[in-house]
Amino acid sequence: MISGIGAACAIALAEAGANICLVQRNPVEGASPNLETYNAILALGVQAKVVYCDLGDIPAVRSLFQTALDAMGGRIHILVNCAGIQRRSPCVDFSEKDWDDVRLLVHFLGPQLAVVFTHSGYCFVRCFFQVIDVNLKSVWLLCQAAGRHMTPVREGKIINFCSLMSYQGGLTIPAYTAAKGALGQLTKSLSNEWSQHNVQVNGIVPGYIATEM
Rounded Cα distance, 36 and 104, in Å? 22
Distance, CA of 15 to chain centre:
19
DSSP 129-146: --HHIIIIIHHHHHHHHH
Active-site residue, from 52, 122, 167, 176: 176
Task: Identify whether the C-beta of residue 80 lies closer than 8 Å to the C-beta of residue 47.
Answer: no
Number of other CB atoms surrounding residue 55 within 10 Å? 28
Length of the chain measured in residues: 213
Rounded Cα distance, 9 and 56, in Å? 22
Q: Active site includes 176?
A: yes
Residue positions annotated with a catalytic role: 176
